[in-house]
Homo-oligomer: A and B are copies of this chain.
Amino acid sequence: MELPVYLDNASTTPLDPRVADAMVRCLRSRDGFGNPSTDTHELGRKAQAQVEAARDQVAALINATGGEIIWTSGATESDNLALIGAASYRRVRGRHLVTSATEHKAVLSTCRHLEQQGFRVTYLEPDRNGLIAPKAVKAAIASDTILVSIMHANNEIGVVQDVAGIGAVCREADVLFHVDAAQSAGRLPLDVQRQCIDLLSVTAHKLYGPKGIGALFLNRQRLRRIEPLMHGGAQERGLRPGTLPTHQIVGMGEAFELAARAMDQDTARIASLRDRLWDGIRTVPGVTLNGHPQRRLCSILCVSVGGVEGESLIFGLRDLAVTSGAACNSATDEPSYVLRSLGRSDQLAHSSIRFSLGRFTTSEEVDFAAASFRQAVDHLHGMLPDRHAIATG
């Protein structure tokens, strides 16, 4: 077991060696380096063929077609392109958007930007388990609503939204529906048809693929086009200019195909490790689980601890690579807005630890993590001026 134990898969995953192999093949071979947008020579066409094959691999995981996939640099860009692109394109129809207060910053900050551009945004507050009810979405839709953006699985607490339910509400109201599936793709079944999704953001590096490549699914039947974020060459049908990074795309395709094949097995194994971890720490004084106890991703376990200062907690967990509420917005030292919107106190938001497990996590690592956690919390509780603070924290 190598230290630190990596339990930060929700931040980014290790590259699957099979993905690395596919990328390295592409990086090292003469057939890989041509410009995939060049169709006047063989080397361009060979690269293009790889790009198109990967498009189908990504599309397959979400029940879309290759022609509906736009390559981007990651989920941040996909989120921006979806929201700014669709809102700008549809602005004549209306200027209202609906989202939730627990979205990723790539959605929230983009919404703030759109507000400055004259759009109105409703930020739905989740219940204390982190859930947004489809009927809350329905109630928020106004006559000038053009887009709803709700994430599938939350990156901090792993809570899974009722995407199909919300999709049905949006479709009925004829409002576009964007889903940030950066965390859920490959971990939960996704079906853009059945779930009535019009735009969907994914990224490779959360699914054992490379960083710096993502995709936006665009339902061509429902939305002819969107405004591009960037301007330049004619790549991606004019929606996303710039030379396509073949090796990155090949890596993402491979990662998504592997995920499709392994999903059932992977998620069962990872969920059982997550439960084992929870069993190992749930009795620690002051520990509470964040987010809905059942409707959650297999891979994320987010807890808060009463009577423990966040920075000291994460420092005490130096042998674990985890994310903490204390470090979430380390620049501002502001505790997680996600936990705050579940009604957690600042202290509990600050002392939260997100364990996120992955394909390469072992039970030995999980046991080590539980022991480290117990020890770190005990150590800090031992210094506490008043033990009552553990419960009231």
Contact = CB atoms under 8 A, between A and B. Distances in A.
Contacts of A30: 2, 14
A270 interface: no
Q: How large is the interface on A (under 10, 10 to 19, 20 to 34, 35 or more residues)?
A: 35 or more
Given A39-B330, A40-B324, A73 B242 contact: yes
A243 B12 contact: yes
Contact of A76 (B74, B242, B329): B242
A53 interface: no
A76 B71 CA distance: 14
Interface in A228-285: 229-234, 241-248
Interface string A307-335: 00000001000101111100101110000
Given A210-B245, A247-B211, A323 B8 contact: no
A329 B232 CA distance: 12
Given A110-B231, A213-B245, 17 more contacts: A8-B41, A8-B43, A11-B38, A11-B44, A15-B33, A20-B28, A42-B318, A44-B321, A73-B212, A73-B245, A105-B232, A113-B231, A210-B247, A212-B213, A229-B230, A234-B331, A245-B248
Interface of A: 2, 4, 6, 8, 11-15, 17, 20, 23-24, 27-28, 30, 33-35, 38-44, 73-77, 79-80, 104-106, 109-110, 112-113, 203, 205, 210-213, 229-234, 241-248, 314, 318, 320-324, 327, 329-331
